[in-house]
Amino acid sequence: MKTMKWLLRREFWEHKGAFFWAPVAIAAAMVLFIGGGFMYTMAFGGHGTVQFNGHNVVDIQGFPPALRYKVAHIVASGYLGIAAPLFLVMAVVVFFYCLSALHDDRRDRSILFWKSLPLSDRDTVLSKAVTALGVVPLLFIAIAVVTGLVLLLLGMISAAGKGLNLFAPVLTEPNLYLGPLYLLAFLPLYMVWALPTVGWLLMVSSWARSKVFLWAVGIPLVSVVLLKWFNFLVGQVSNSVINVDWFVDQVVMRGLLGLVPGIWMSEASINALNERQGLDPAMLLGLSYGTLASPGVWIAAAVGAGMIYAAMRLRRWRDEG
């Protein structure tokens, strides 16, 4: 346990720029531009009507109390959604981290130093998988929560400057305080869905001698091309062809895009959310966890775990530069 703690610290300090400073810089840019837009609107924006659900409402200073609490509920329930770009950045950071995690120390021969220490290949690979699946998402969640709260505060200050005071109704909304807990509740689900991608990237990273990105992305894409060509040839003489669309959705997309949060949301789930006024975090959480009822999710997770095990075995033998 103590060894794993120090291995995780090593991963953080070696990649602090990507794991911490990159999201902080993007969060600062969001606060500057979006929050600055709120402040500009307060200072120079004119008084006017507010459009709500496609209908023009009275002047902002004459907002009906019932509608004010409705707006406060929507704001308190969805304020973390404004930090969504951070989680797209997280997917990119984790993707390239996993690609280089087991390849770079072979390329620069530092693997010889690490293998001279009493550290097993199992612990080393597991520390990188835990970093990708747990440590990095937790860091991004913390930064996203702070960013969302800062932008929420600036937005409410801007609205108050125009005569719409949302402080009291927003501060009494339970979802304001439950929002960070909802994000944390998504983490186990994210781990399950991201496991195949992390396993695939770590396995390629431990195996490829060079051009890791081309191997990781090229093999699935070339497989799709070959299957389509096979279907074209076989289709000339038979109707028995391979379901390439299924292969693309369940293998290629799951293997390459599993790090993108929300990839588990189906079109039906998105339509169900759109039918409600504002974001309902509890409903979103329920629909998301409902995807775990599919056996395919667990089969993919098991395959991902198998590829992580393969990465451990490969690291034991592939110590070339």
Residue 7 half-sphere exposure toward CB, CA atoms < 13 A: 22
- Quote the CA–CA distance of 211 and 36 in Å, as a whole number: 42
The position carrying tokens 């490969």 is 314
Segment 250-278, tens digit of pLDDT: 899 989 999 999 899 875 566 666 666 55
Give the least confident one: 4-13, 25-34, 103-112, 280-289: 103-112
Q: Are 193 and 263 in contact (CB under 8 A)?
A: yes
The first and second tokens of residue 162, run together, are: 């125009």
Minimum mean pLDDT range among 240-244, 288-292, 297-301: 240-244
pTM comes to: 0.89
Residue 321: the pLDDT is 43
List pLDDT tens digits, range 39-95. Answer: 877 766 655 555 555 555 555 555 677 778 888 888 998 899 899 999 999 999 999
**How high does pLDDT run on average in the chain?**
85
Q: What is the DSSP letter of 53?
A: T
